[in-house]
Amino acid sequence: MITTTNKLFGFSVARRSTRRILVVVYWLCIAAFTCAFLFDQMRHTLDVFGIIIALQILTNLPSLLGGVRAGGVIKPYRGVKWAPLMDRDEVQTVFSGARPVIGSATAADLALDERETRLRDRVHFVSYTLMRWITLFLFAGYALLALLRPEWTRQAGLFLFILLALVLWSLPQTLILWNEPDMSATDMEEPR
Amino acid sequence: MNSEVVFLGRRISTARQLRRRVLVIAIYAALALLMAVLWATTGLRGSGAYVIWAAILACRFFLGGYYAGGLVKPFNGKAPKQTEVPSSLLAIKLRIYQPVPADDDAAYRNDERELHLRDHAHYLAFQIIGVAVCVPMFIASMRLIRPSLMSWIPMQPDAIYYGLTLVALILFLTLPQAILLWTEPDMEEQ
C-alpha cells in the first residue's frame, strides 16, 4: 500500500515511527493553515489571491500523501489508468531532463493487490465513521455561529468546505501511514 | 442483508434488486422533498434538524446499517438492544413496532463477504462525498470572488452553506446503505 519510490517531506517512510512523526507534522500543517486562513478571513474578506492560495494548498497537501492521486507515498486507490501515465518511463518529454532509469514507478508497480484493496476499503470504513462525527460537529458549529455571530456565517462557508475537503482527502491516507507496520527489505525493493 | 422490511405491520419483500432500487430512490426523493418544503416555508432556519431526524428514521425503518432495524445488518456487528418490556399499546395500534429479531448471530452479525461489501461500499461513498464537496466549495469561492455571478440564487449565502452542509450530513448517514441496496443482486426470498 505504501510505496518507497516517493518520499514525504523528503523522508523515507519505511519505518512506522518516522511515518507517525510525519503524520503528526502533516496534521500540524493543516491546523496552522486552518488557523491562518480563518484569522485572515475573519479580519478582512478573503480576496481572489487568498482563495487561489487556499485551493492550491487543498490540492497539493493531499497529493503529498497520495491515494486520491498518483505521486504520493500511498499507492493510488484506483491505480493509474490514464494512458499518458502508463509506462511513463519509456516516454521522453521534450522540455525536461532525462527520466531516471531506476526509482520510477510504473502503472504495474502502483496497482493494488488483494490485501491492499482490503486494507484500502477497511480504512475507508473507519474514516467514514470518523467523518460522520466530524461533519456533525462542523454542522453544529456552523449552526452555533449563526446564532452567536450571524455576520460571520457568510465568510465561514468557504472555510467550512475547504476544511471538510482537506480532512476528507487526507484522513484515510494518514490512517494507513499510522497503522501499517515497518516495511521489510523485500517491500523496499526499488521498482524497475 | 435482510430480504424483507416490516413497515406499519406489513412485511414487504425486497429480495428483488429492482424493488430495493425503487426504495432507495423513494427515500432520497422524500428527503429532497422535505428539504424543499422546509426551505420554501422556513428557509431551513431552525428546521434543519427535522431533515436529520427524517434521515435517522429512514435508517431505522428501511436502510439499517448504522441503526438497528432496516434492511442492511448493523455495520458494527452488535446485536440490537433487547428489552423485556413489550411494545406499547400505542405502537401496536399504530403498527410501528419492530418485529423481534431472530435469536441467532446471522440476524445481525456480518460474515466475511458482508464485511468486505460493507467496507467497499464505504470506500465508494467516501469517494463520492469527497468529489461532491467540491460543488459547495466552488459556489462558496465564486460567492467571494464574483458575487454578481451568484446573485441569481434566491437565497442568502449562509442559508446555502447551511443547506449544503445538511446535504453532506444526510449523505454521510445514508449513502453506504444506499450503495449496498443498489448493488446487491436479486436474493432468494426467505
| Higher pLDDT among residues B70 and A171, named by residue | A171
Picking from B126, B165, B166, the nearest residue to A128 by CB comes out as B126
Cβ proximity of A29 and A37 under 8 Å: no
Q: How high is the pLDDT of residue A121?
A: 92
The owner of cell 428483488 is B16
Residue B108 has pLDDT above 80, yes or no: no
Nearest to A73 by CA among A86, A84, A63, A83: A63
Q: How high is the pLDDT of residue B126?
A: 92
When the pLDDT of each residue in chain B is averaged and rounded to a whole number, the result is 82
Rounded to whole angstroms, what are the CA distances from A31 to A27, A38, A162?
Answer: 6, 10, 12
Residue A1 lies inside a defined structural domain of this protein: no
CA of B87 vs chain A CAs: smallest distance (Å): 31
Q: At what angle do helices B112-132 and B157-183 cross, to 10 degrees?
A: 150
A76 pLDDT band, cuts 50/70/90, is: confident
Q: How high is the pLDDT of residue A164?
A: 87
> What does the H/E/C string look like for chain B?
CCCEEEECCEEEECCCHHHHHHHHHHHHHHHHHHHHHHHHHHCCCCCHHHHHHHHHHHHHHHHECCCCCCCECCCCCCCCCCCCCCCCHHHHHHCCCCCCCCCCHHHCCCCHHHHHHHHHHHHHHHHHHHHHCHHHHHHHHHHHHCHHHHCCCCCCHHHHHHHHHHHHHHHHHHHHHHHHHHHCCCCCCC
When the pLDDT of each residue in chain A is averaged and rounded to a whole number, the result is 77
CA of B92 vs chain A CAs: smallest distance (Å): 33
User: Which of A18-32, B18-32, B74-88 has the highest average model confidence (pLDDT)?
Assistant: B18-32
Dist CA B127 CA A106 (whole Å): 24
Q: How high is the pLDDT of residue A192?
A: 47
**Does the beta carbon of A14 lie under 8 angstroms from any beta carbon of chain B?**
no
Mean pLDDT, range B123-137, rounded to an integer: 89
Dist CA B115 CA B165 (whole Å): 29
Q: How high is the pLDDT of residue A109?
A: 65
Structural domain count, chain A: 1
Mean pLDDT, range B36-57, rounded to an integer: 86
The pTM of this model reads 0.82
Residues of B in contact with A74 (CB under 8 A): none
Residue A60 lies inside a defined structural domain of this protein: yes
Residue A149 lies inside a defined structural domain of this protein: yes
Flag if A51 and B160 touch (Cβ within 8 Å).
Answer: no
| Residue type (1 letter), A132 | R
User: Which of A77-81, B17-21, B80-84, B88-92 has the highest average model confidence (pLDDT)?
Assistant: B17-21
Q: How high is the pLDDT of residue A104?
A: 55
Q: What percent of chain A has pLDDT over 90?
A: 12
| C-beta atoms surrounding B24 within 10 Å | 19
Residue A115 has pLDDT above 60, yes or no: yes
Q: How high is the pLDDT of residue B32?
A: 94
User: Which of A14-23, A89-98, A135-144, B42-51 is the least confident region?
Assistant: A89-98
Residue A189 lies inside a defined structural domain of this protein: no
| Higher pLDDT among residues B149 and B36, named by residue | B36
Residue B91 has pLDDT above 80, yes or no: no
Residues of B in contact with A127 (CB under 8 A): 126
B150 pLDDT band, cuts 50/70/90, is: confident
**Does the beta carbon of A42 lie under 8 angstroms from any beta carbon of chain B?**
no
Residues 6+ positions from B53 with CB-CB distance below 8 Å: none
| Higher pLDDT among residues A139 and B174, named by residue | B174
Dist CA A52 CA A55 (whole Å): 5
Mean pLDDT, range B120-129, rounded to an integer: 93
Q: How high is the pLDDT of residue B85?
A: 67
Q: How high is the pLDDT of residue A39?
A: 74
Cβ proximity of A158 and B135 under 8 Å: no
What range does the domain containing A125 cover?
16-90+105-179
Picking from A51, A125, A164, the nearest residue to B133 by CB comes out as A164
